[in-house]
Amino acid sequence: MTGGAPRDPFGARLRSAVSARGNLCVGIDPHPALLESWGLGVDAAGVREFSRRSLEAFGDLVPAVKPQVAFFEEHGSAGFAVLEEVLTSIAESGALSIADAKRGDIGSTMAGYARAWLAADSPLACDALTVSPYLGVGSLEAAFDTASANNRGLFVLARTSNPEAGGLQAATGPSGTVAQSVVDEVGHRNAASGPGTPGPFGVVVGATVADPPRLDGLRGPVLMPGVGEQGGTLADVRRIAGPALAHTLVNVSRHVLRSGPDVGAMRAVVRDLARTYRFVGSA
């Protein structure tokens, strides 16, 4: 597990990691087709080897690594055991771990999810967790509280690039779009953060959306998938992130992982992308 020892606030650790390694976040997504293309079994052992090679390729090059929890979970307890190992290995590589679990529920159930992913003594403790606010941002209060108490972070889904999202996330009300209301509520929770350091709570905004929410009041980080094979470009990242650019993590997974299983080939791709997506010092 990644936790237990005292740690600096997530925003400060993110700022340090980005300053040292740039803004590229790479996913570990061991879905069955990739496992097979790498010549690995579609089982927990294959997921373990896939993750090991991935971290050897880029764990020491990027500020954050994002394991997609679903592809571990589908292998049951053996898959979760591999995920625990991966989270520990990410920490040992010097990168931040973002568990892409998209958890979201209410009351005691949300509190249970929060303890599972954000409590210091949990074997699944990560540096940051993706969560869904579409039962209401307030339903995530246990996750906000647990993350704060343990100096960890959250990335709250705001405006995602999947085509099914538009009708809900772009719907308008008295305060603007639903996505904008999510960003604004997350921003309120970051209001105590000092200048230059992002708060612990970020949002997920896809790089391909034409109608992104404004991020000028977020005061926190952005996780931006959709770059590369999904069509998002460097210009899109700059357009959408705006004043949050310096604290934006550009997530690229497929483009890197399809260069495997050769570690050197993946490493070369990540080095090239890391040079492109480096915004340290940007306004």
* Positions marked active-site: 102
Q: Please state whether beta strands 172-173 and 96-103 pair in parallel, antiparallel, or not at all (unpaired).
A: unpaired
Helix, strand or coil, per DSSP, at residue 242: helix
* CA–CA distance, 120 with 170 (Å, rounded to integer): 36
Pairing relationship of beta strands 153-159 and 172-173 according to DSSP bridges:
unpaired
Whether the Cβ atoms of residue 222 and residue 249 lie closer than 8 Å to each other:
yes
Q: Is 185 helix (H, G, I), strand (E, B) or coil?
A: helix
Is residue 179 within 8 A of residue 159, CB to CB? The reply is: yes
C-alpha dist (Å) from residue 225 to 39, 48, 98: 27, 24, 13
Q: Which of 252, 171, 246 is nearest to 215 (CA)?
A: 246
CA distance 184 to 20: 29
Kindly report the number of other CB atoms within 10 A of residue 143's CB atom: 26
Residue 220 has what DSSP assignment? S
Alpha-carbon gap, residue 199 to 19, rounded angstroms: 16
Report d(CA 248, CA 277) in Å as an integer.
10
If one counts every other C-beta atom within 10 angstroms of the C-beta of residue 42, the result is 17
Cβ 113 vs Cβ 88: under 8 Å: no
